[in-house]
């Protein structure tokens, strides 16, 4: 255990003293003996010599005495120091217990500030700071396509591009491709849709992981028709197979195809939400066309090479590819390739929100510190008499400051402990606020680092808010303290310090409240976005027919026809339909088209609207309004002429405002038929609540075999009901099971829930910032109240005199309120400036509102002013009730 | 005084010095020189005490908490460190003195027995 510095210095001093004391003691002995001999008649020189002889070895004696004395001094001083510390602690505890209300207020304030920071930091650490669970994760990068010409800054790769990366980018020691999907697992319990990841065989090597059991895919297993194998994720293996090692070699039916389990990934390894890994089949001899983009790519940088090296090699590759493949990369597409760290790919989207919250929590902690410092200052003032008395009785100034710091450190430690407790409760609560969006949630845990950070924060806070009262104690005027009776006068410097803290609190609270207000409005706007459909009273579910058992188009169309008929007959169902692109849940999915009469010029990109595939009932079930023409009809079947419905954006951008009904276009490809536009619908938010609609067209499900020569197996079914949609969920499941017991129903939920889920991340940020803002506002109000109430108490005498001299109570009240207002206005002015500076960082979190929105700032200023007035009201009223005689007699 | 060092002096046994110092303090607080004088007087100069060795002994006793020390004024008006026997030291002296006496008696008995047979 190290002794603090102050104590150390006293030890050094003690050592010097004890050495001179030894010399003094021995010299006295020699002097007295010499005197004795002189008295007996010796000459002084002889006497001294004789005394020395009789004494023996003077140097050795001195040395051994010093050693003993040093040893003694050290141990007694140390004992003193510790007993002093113990005394300080006991005394501090007693003092704190004497004012339980104030102590509780301080502890709650600290616990909130520290707890909020610990909770947010826990999440930030798990999501942003903890290394990814792969070998040397800092060398892992993502590679992506960039098409600046069609506004696609971050796109997926095609098979030839992947092969190019493997062959000609030497900066990568391994390249792997992957694609997330879902597989229907049958034969092990009830059929279940399982999140899967199709990967190349190089995947495990690129990520630097080895299966804990069995093996990963062999080098030939990622070719078409080669590897009917599967590797399980550790958690899935535990959950579905009880961690049985005998699972190796077992055959699982996945999408109706048998696959052999060959391996299990290690515990802690996660990639997206994948529960199983299957080979991504690529025919390396004759890969798919260069324009078929569907692969995500991860690569490992060679040791010693940087992102910049990889980036320049990619640029060189693109420089070769574009002239060689001018048909695939028309000049107007603006094709290039980009590379970024894998961490950025995985958590980049949530980073701004988390950093916003971390900053907000930091501000809240500052407000809490200012508030506690203020409370402690007030108390220190109340204790001036006691402190002065102790000084008079001989307590050193250093000792008093140590006493005050001990008190604040004890408070901070207790506040930190409470804060940690709060975080332990708060983190799960926080995670439950964001059920869908947060990546890497399994990495979120309160650990040693978090505890250490909490401890550091608490100690820092303790010193920060303990220092002000301690410094004040240093300036303590001994006579003043006793003479004034410790109640009436307060130095202007001290009052300025306290007001400074209140102004700081108000301005910081202003920043937090402004941020919260902006997010509330942004959320409100998101909530009221015109989605283009009605989400109430709609039940939805996802189905995916396994290719093995639904291997031709008639079977697929027959199944869906029977399904919609069966479900439509359930009591309470008023409309039913199915679509491939459920609103708000869309991922990328564009099919290039050609408009009749407008052939695509070489070098120009083809129009690339999003595509949806729907059944006729879909529009009625979702209440999507039709603007012009008609919706899809049951008569638009495989025998009828091919038709399509387009949305308003597509009508506007591709037909430039002309009514497209009756015009024709076709999906780009060999011998695809022309399709006639029969109707225009309102825009629907397909890609997310904050993302504006893109050009989009809808094809009838039944005509797909004609238009693109395939059938769509994965569809989302939507049912409009007269009552609560969830009431019929059980009946829907039973009906589907009666049609095909092997089929897994996924994502059975209401459409309202889909809307609510897509709002979960903005709601998460908003709720937390509102919470922080409310806390900061409360703390600031407490700060204003404390200072004003104390000010009134301190000036009771002055107010009493004024009242005695005939001042109106109204005048006195105005005096106090004006003082409070002055504080609030100073805080507001500083706060608005600060908020204007800081809120720009919030811009990426806002929808439909500017971070500098003047109305918001005005409203927030008024709110803060009102709160400050409210906090001043009670002290002002108390001022008018000061008893003039009592106030004058008090001293 | 000149004959302070008699020819027939005895060297001090290990640990005995502490006992003598404690004993000499039973007459009251005393500085180092006083303790030296006291021992000299009590032993009639038979024991050869090197005066320098008194001080480490005194400091050791202080360290062990058997004597307390404080600074005061000597008879010739100088600052001097006074040692005082405290209750623990008194107790220690009692125990050690009785064990010393038993030891001395035992040794004496043996020596006497040898004389009678020889």
Tens of pLDDT along A859-883? Answer: 999 999 999 888 888 888 888 887 7
Contact A461, A412 (CB under 8 A): yes
Asked whether the beta carbons of residue A56 and residue B51 sit closer than 8 angstroms, the reply is yes
Neighbours of A80 (CB within 10 A): 14
Residues of B whose CB is below 8 A from A26: 32, 55
Asked whether the beta carbons of residue A54 and residue B76 sit closer than 8 angstroms, the reply is no
Asked whether the beta carbons of residue B80 and residue A33 sit closer than 8 angstroms, the reply is no
- Print pLDDT tens along chain B (118 aa): 334 443 344 556 657 888 889 998 998 899 998 888 888 888 777 766 778 888 988 988 888 889 988 888 887 788 888 999 999 999 999 998 898 889 889 988 888 886 555 4
What sign has the CA pseudo-torsion A173, A177, A180, A186? negative
pLDDT at A81: 78
> What distance in Å separates the CA atoms of residue A81 and residue A68, rounded to the nearest whole number?
20
pLDDT of A676-696, one tens digit each?
Answer: 999 999 999 998 888 888 899
* Confidence class for position A74, pLDDT limits 50, 70, 90: confident
Greater confidence, B22 or A75?
B22
pLDDT of A514-554, one tens digit each?
Answer: 999 999 999 999 988 899 999 999 999 999 888 888 888 89
Per-residue pLDDT for A6 more than 60?
no
Report, as an integer, the average pLDDT of A349-376: 86
Closest Cβ–Cβ partner in B36, B52, B81 for A61 = B52
pLDDT of A155-191, one tens digit each?
Answer: 889 899 999 999 989 999 999 999 988 888 887 778 8
Which of A55, A70, A79 should we substitute to test contact with B (largest number of B Cβ atoms within 10 Å)? Answer: A55
How big is chain A by its Cα radius of gyration, in Å?
39
Which of A128-137, A387-396, A827-836 shows the lowest mean pLDDT across its residues? A387-396
Closest Cβ–Cβ partner in B1, B36, B56 for A65 = B56
* Confidence class for position A461, pLDDT limits 50, 70, 90: confident
pLDDT at A643: 95
Per-residue pLDDT for A348 more than 90?
no
> What distance in Å separates the CA atoms of residue A585 and residue A688, rounded to the nearest whole number?
6
Per the listing, tokens 């949609």 go with: A725
Q: Does B31 reach chain A within 8 Å, measured CB to CB? A: yes
Neighbours of A793 (CB within 10 A): 17
Chain A / chain B CB contacts < 8 angstroms: 66
pLDDT at A173: 93
pLDDT of A585-619, one tens digit each?
Answer: 887 667 888 999 888 887 777 888 999 999 999 99
pLDDT at B48: 66
> What distance in Å separates the CA atoms of residue A278 and residue A280, rounded to the nearest whole number?
6
> What distance in Å separates the CA atoms of residue A644 and residue A641, rounded to the nearest whole number?
10
Q: Specify the DSSP element, H or E, that contains A601.
A: none
H-only helix segments in chain B:
16-24, 32-42, 54-63, 87-117
Contact A28, B78 (CB under 8 A): yes
Q: Specify the DSSP element, H or E, that contains A482.
A: helix A478-483
Which of A37-51, A80-94, A426-440, A796-810 shows the lowest mean pLDDT across its residues? A426-440
Per-residue pLDDT for A252 more than 50?
yes
> What distance in Å separates the CA atoms of residue A519 and residue A28, rounded to the nearest whole number?
83
Chain A: nearest CA to B61, how far in angstroms?
10
Instruction: Tell me the pairing of strands A573-579 and A664-667.
Output: unpaired
H-only helix segments in A704-808:
704-707, 729-739, 751-758, 760-794, 796-804
A494 exposure class (CB count in 10 Å sphere: 0-12, 13-18, 19+)? middle
Find the residue in B nearest to A26 (Cα): B55
DSSP state, residue A129: I
Closest Cβ–Cβ partner in B1, B32, B80 for A40 = B1
Nearest to A298 by CA among A166, A160, A128: A166
**Contacts with A393 (C-beta within 8 Å, 6 or more apart), sequence order:** none
Helix (H, G, I), strand (E, B) or coil at A600: coil
Contact B39, B50 (CB under 8 A): no
* Confidence class for position A84, pLDDT limits 50, 70, 90: confident
pLDDT at A319: 92
What sign has the CA pseudo-torsion A18, A22, A23, A28? positive
A741 exposure class (CB count in 10 Å sphere: 0-12, 13-18, 19+)? exposed
- CA distance to A172, A207, A294, A823, per residue, from A165 (Å): 8, 16, 15, 64
pLDDT at B52: 85
Structure tokens given for A41 = 């008649």
Asked whether the beta carbons of residue B51 and residue A55 sit closer than 8 angstroms, the reply is yes
Chain B: nearest CA to A69, how far in angstroms?
7
**Cut 0.80: pTM above it:** no
Find the residue in B nearest to A65 (Cα): B56
pLDDT at B114: 65
Find the residue in B nearest to A36 (Cα): B1
Q: Which B-chain residues 85-114 have CB contacts (< 8 A) with chain A?
A: none
Per-residue pLDDT for A326 more than 70?
yes
- What values do phi and psi take at A676, rounded to 5? -95, 135
H-only helix segments in A348-447:
351-382, 384-392, 397-433
pLDDT at A589: 66
Which of A45-59, A765-779, A799-813, A864-878 shows the lowest mean pLDDT across its residues? A799-813
Report, as an integer, the average pLDDT of A447-458: 79
Mean pLDDT of chain A: 85
Per-residue pLDDT for A387 more than 60?
yes
pLDDT at A5: 44
Per-residue pLDDT for A437 more than 80?
no
Report, as an integer, the average pLDDT of A410-420: 88
Instruction: For A815-841, give the DSSP string.
Output: HHHHHHHHHHHHHHHHHHHHHHHHGGG
Report, as an integer, the average pLDDT of A305-320: 93
* Confidence class for position A100, pLDDT limits 50, 70, 90: confident
Asked whether the beta carbons of residue B1 and residue A37 sit closer than 8 angstroms, the reply is yes
Which of A194-208, A460-474, A763-777 shows the lowest mean pLDDT across its residues? A460-474
Report, as an integer, the average pLDDT of A797-821: 84
Report, as an integer, the average pLDDT of A443-449: 78
Closest Cβ–Cβ partner in A29, A55, A68 for B60 = A68
**Contacts with B2 (C-beta within 8 Å, 6 or more apart), sequence order:** A40
Nearest to A669 by CA among A615, A712, A710: A710
Q: What are the residues of chain A with a beta carbon less than 8 Å away from any beta carbon of chain B?
A: 21-22, 24-26, 28-29, 31-33, 35-37, 40, 54-58, 60-61, 64-65, 68-69, 71-72
Structure tokens given for A390 = 């102790």
Which of A18, A41, A72 should we substitute to test contact with B (largest number of B Cβ atoms within 10 Å)? Answer: A72
Helix (H, G, I), strand (E, B) or coil at A258: strand
């Amino acid at each position: 255990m190290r002794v603090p510095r102050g104590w150390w210095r006293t030890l050094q001093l003690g050592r010097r003293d004890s050495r001179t004391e030894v010399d003094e003691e021995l010299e006295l002995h020699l002097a007295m003996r010499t005197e004795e001999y002189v008295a007996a008649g010796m000459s002084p020189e002889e006497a001294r010599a004789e005394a020395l002889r009789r004494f023996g070895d003077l140097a050795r004696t001195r040395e051994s005495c010093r050693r003993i004395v040093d040893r003694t001094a050290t141990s007694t001083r140390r004992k003193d120091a510790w007993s002093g510390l113990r005394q300080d602690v006991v005394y501090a505890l007693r003092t704190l217990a004497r004012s339980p209300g104030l102590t509780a207020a301080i502890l709650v304030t600290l616990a909130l500030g520290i707890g909020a920071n610990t909770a947010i930091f826990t999440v930030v650490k798990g999501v942003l700071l903890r290394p990814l669970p792969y070998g040397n994760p800092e060398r892992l990068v993502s590679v992506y396509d960039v098409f600046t010409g069609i506004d696609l800054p971050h796109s997926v790769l095609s098979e030839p591009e992947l092969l190019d990366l493997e062959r000609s980018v030497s900066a990568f020691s391994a390249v792997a491709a992957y694609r997330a999907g879902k597989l229907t697992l049958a034969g092990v319990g009830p059929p279940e849709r399982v999140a899967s990841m199709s990967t190349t065989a190089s995947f495990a090597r690129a990520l630097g992981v080895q299966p804990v059991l069995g093996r990963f895919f062999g080098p030939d297993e990622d070719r078409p028709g080669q590897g009917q194998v599967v590797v399980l994720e550790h958690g899935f293996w535990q959950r579905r197979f009880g961690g049985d090692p005998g699972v190796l070699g077992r055959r699982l039916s996945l999408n109706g195809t048998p696959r052999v389990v060959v391996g299990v990934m290690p515990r802690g390894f996660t990639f997206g939400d994948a529960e199983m890994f299957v080979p991504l089949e690529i025919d390396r001899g004759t890969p798919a066309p260069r324009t078929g983009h569907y692969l995500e790519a991860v690569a490992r940088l060679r040791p010693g090479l940087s992102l910049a090296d990889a980036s320049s090699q990619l640029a060189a590759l693109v420089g070769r590819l574009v002239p060689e493949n001018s048909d695939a990369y028309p000049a107007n597409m603006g094709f290039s390739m980009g590379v970024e760290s894998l961490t950025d790919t995985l958590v980049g989207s949530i980073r701004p929100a988390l950093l916003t919250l971390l900053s907000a929590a930091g501000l809240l902690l500052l407000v809490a510190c200012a508030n506690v410092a203020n409370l402690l200052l007030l108390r220190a003032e109340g204790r001036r008499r006691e402190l002065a008395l102790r000084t008079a009785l001989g307590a050193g100034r250093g000792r008093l400051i140590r006493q005050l710091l001990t008190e604040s450190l004890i408070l901070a430690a207790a506040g930190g402990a409470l804060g940690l407790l709060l975080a332990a409760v708060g983190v799960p609560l926080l995670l439950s606020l964001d059920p869908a969006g947060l990546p890497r949630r399994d990495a979120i845990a309160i650990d040693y680092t978090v505890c250490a950070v909490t401890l550091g924060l608490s100690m820092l806070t303790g010193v920060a808010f303990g220092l002000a009262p301690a410094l004040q104690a240093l300036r303590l005027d001994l006579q003043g303290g006793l003479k004034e009776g410790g109640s009436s006068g307060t130095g202007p410097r001290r009052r300025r310090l306290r007001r400074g803290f209140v102004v700081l609190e108000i301005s910081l609270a202003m920043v937090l409240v402004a941020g919260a207000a902006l997010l509330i409005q942004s959320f409100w706007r998101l909530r009221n976005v015109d989605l283009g459909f009605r989400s109430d009273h709609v039940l939805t579910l996802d189905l995916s027919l396994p290719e093995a058992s639904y291997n031709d188009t008639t079977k697929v169309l027959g199944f869906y026809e029977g399904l919609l008929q069966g479900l439509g007959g359930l009591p309470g169902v008023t409309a039913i339909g199915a679509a491939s692109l459920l609103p708000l849940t869309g991922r990328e999915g564009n099919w290039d088209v050609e408009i009749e009469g407008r052939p695509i010029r070489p070098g120009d990109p083809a129009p690339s609207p999003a595509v949806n595939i729907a059944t006729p009932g879909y529009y009625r079930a979702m209440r999507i309004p039709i603007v012009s023409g008609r919706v899809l009809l049951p008569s638009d079947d495989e025998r009828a002429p091919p038709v399509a419905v387009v949305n308003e954006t597509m009508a506007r951008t591709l037909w430039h405002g002309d009514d497209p009904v009756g015009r024709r276009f076709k999906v780009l490809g060999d011998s695809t038929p022309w399709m006639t536009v029969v109707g225009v619908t309102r825009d629907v938010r397909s890609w997310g609540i904050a993302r504006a609609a893109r050009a989009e067209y809808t094809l009838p499900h039944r005509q797909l075999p004609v238009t693109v020569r395939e059938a769509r197996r994965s569809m989302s079914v939507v049912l409009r009901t007269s009552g609560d949609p969830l009431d019929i969920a059980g009946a829907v499941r039973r009906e589907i099971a009666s049609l095909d017991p092997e089929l897994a129903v996924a994502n059975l939920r209401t459409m309202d829930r889909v809307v609510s889920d897509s709002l979960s991340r903005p709601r998460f940020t908003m709720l937390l910032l509102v919470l922080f803002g409310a806390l900061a506002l409360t703390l600031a109000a407490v700060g204003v109240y404390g200072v004003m109430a104390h000010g009134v108490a301190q000036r009771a005498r002055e107010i009493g005199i004024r009242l005695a001299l005939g001042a109106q109570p109204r005048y006195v009240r105005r005096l106090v309120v004006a003082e409070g207002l002055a504080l609030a206005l100073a805080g507001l002015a500083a706060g608005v400036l600060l908020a204007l500076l800081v809120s720009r960082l919030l811009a990426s979190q806002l929808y439909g509102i500017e971070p500098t929105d003047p109305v918001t700032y005005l409203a927030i200023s008024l709110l803060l002013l009102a709160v400050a007035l409210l906090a001043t009201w009670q002290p002002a009223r108390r001022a008018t009730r000061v008893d003039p005689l009592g106030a004058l007699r008090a001293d | 005084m000149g004959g302070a060092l008699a020819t027939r002096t005895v060297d001090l046994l290990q640990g005995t010095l502490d006992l003598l110092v404690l004993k000499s303090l039973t007459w009251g607080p005393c500085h180092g020189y006083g303790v030296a004088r006291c021992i000299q007087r009590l032993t009639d100069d038979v024991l050869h005490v090197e005066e320098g060795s008194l001080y480490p002994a005194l400091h050791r006793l202080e360290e062990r908490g058997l004597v307390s020390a404080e600074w005061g004024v000597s008879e010739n008006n100088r600052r001097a460190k006074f040692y005082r026997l405290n209750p623990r030291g008194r107790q220690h002296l009692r125990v050690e003195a009785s064990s010393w006496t038993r030891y001395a008696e035992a040794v004496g008995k043996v020596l006497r027995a040898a004389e009678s047979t020889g």
